């Protein structure tokens, strides 16, 4: 007789985050490009962003965030089986930023690799980590979203330079009690939107040359209006889809932690989903868009501020270049306080 395979319940047992000390305000940007504090705030909701020191890389922030996540999870570095780093700004093409983090943290028992899905990276990584733990391949996975977007931002382009900031967020994914953790998830992509949000040069198709540098092809390029329309549509669509897959209703959601890209996108989704303002975590005004770091930094802050409590139903949702998107519903498990 074939024995039915048993899958584990999987959730997040610890979070951590780090943002650089240097603050770049809208008033600072007024001195750099033709823009204004009012224009930036009304169109994006951003007041300031953090900028990483020039001598440091994404791995530095990743390690800082990971240390806090390990502490919250009450684990030691040697307890980690796998490190996944989601980033579009690795320290270098190879070795992976995850390997640099492994060495920095002394996670001697961990495998390590990077994952790239732009602003959806943390949710893609969370889905991979969930699958590994659920199937029993690994027990404790450290997932980090870390971005030094200031390195790939054209500070003469007023349409994009006001949007982005640097930071890192981390989570430890492990087995949790039955009925807790991940209830439903959904990922998606549409490669037809590949040119709406991209960094064209520096890869195998367009290696660095004097021409690519002169043409500023090593900086973020974004078709803002099209990305905005895509994000507004997808936020509502995939929220409803993943909640249904979780066998819940929107009214069951205790807290929404969205990708922090634009306050108008977040507000549009909140109203369409009929969620109260106090059920949505927003830190966009302080950090701007941190790509794959946005959701884990916001999640960590919400947990540490006791906005998210044990047994709460939490919806995470993100979208980004690719085009990509992802969503996950979790019943929160609090392993302990901070």
Question: Any idea which residues carry the catalytic annotation?
Answer: 119, 259, 289
Q: Which helix H or strand E contains 227, and what residues bound it?
A: helix 224-245
The encoded tokens of residue 208 equal 């660095």
SS3 track for 37-105: HHHHHHHHCCCEEEECCCCCCHHHHHHHHHHHHHHHHCCCHHHCCEEEEECCCCCCCCCCHHHHHHHHH
- CB neighbour burial string for 207-239, b if at least 16 within 10 angstroms, e if fewer: eeeeeeeeeebbbbbbeeeebbebbbebbbbbb
CA–CA distance, 164 with 161 (Å, rounded to integer) = 6
CA distance 51 to 149: 9
DSSP reduced 3-state for 129? helix
Q: How many residues does the chain have?
A: 338
Closest among 20, 27, 31 to 46, alpha carbons compared: 27
Dihedral in degrees, nearest 10, Cα atoms 51, 44, 119, 54: -10
CB atoms within 10 A of CB 278: 8
Phi, psi of 54 (to 5 degrees): -60, -30
Report how far Cα 39 is from the mean position of its chain's Cα atoms: 26
Residue 175, strand partner residues: 10
Could you tell me the sign of the dihedral formed by the alpha carbons of 150, 154, 160, 162, in that order?
positive
């Amino acid at each position: 007789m074939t024995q039915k395979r048993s899958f584990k319940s999987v959730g997040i047992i610890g979070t951590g985050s780090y943002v650089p000390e240097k603050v770049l305000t809208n008033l600072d940007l007024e001195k750099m490009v033709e823009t204004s504090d009012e224009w930036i705030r009304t169109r994006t909701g951003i007041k300031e962003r953090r900028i990483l020191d020039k001598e440091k890389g994404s791995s530095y922030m990743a390690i800082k965030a990971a240390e806090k996540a390990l502490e919250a999870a009450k684990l030691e570095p040697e307890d980690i089986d796998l490190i996944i780093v989601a980033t579009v700004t690795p320290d270098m093409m190879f070795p992976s930023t995850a390997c640099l983090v492994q060495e920095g943290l002394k996670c001697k028992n961990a495998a390590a690799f990077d994952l790239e899905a732009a602003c959806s990276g943390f949710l893609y990584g969370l889905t991979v980590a969930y699958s590994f733990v659920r199937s029993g391949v690994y027990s404790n996975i450290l997932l980090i979203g870390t971005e030094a977007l200031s390195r790939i931002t054209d500070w003469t382009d007023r349409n994009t330079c006001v949007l982005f900031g640097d930071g890192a967020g981390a989570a430890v994914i492990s087995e949790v009690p039955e009925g807790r953790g991940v209830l439903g998830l959904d990922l998606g992509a549409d490669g037809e939107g590949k040119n709406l949000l991209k960094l064209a040069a520096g890869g195998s198709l367009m290696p660095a040359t004097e021409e690519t540098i002169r043409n500023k092809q090593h900086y973020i390029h974004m078709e803002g209006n099209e990305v905005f329309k895509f994000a507004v549509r997808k936020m509502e669509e995939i929220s409803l889809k993943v909640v249904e897959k979780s066998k819940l209703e929107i009214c069951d959601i205790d807290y929404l932690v969205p990708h922090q890209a634009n306050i108008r996108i977040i507000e549009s989704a909140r109203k369409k989903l009929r969620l109260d303002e106090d059920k949505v975590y927003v830190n966009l005004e302080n950090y701007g868009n941190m790509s794959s770091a946005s959701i884990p930094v916001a999640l960590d802050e919400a947990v540490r501020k006791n906005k998210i409590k044990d047994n709460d139903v939490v919806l995470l949702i993100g979208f980004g270049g690719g085009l990509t998107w992802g969503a996950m519903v979790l019943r929160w498990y609090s392993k302990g306080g901070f």
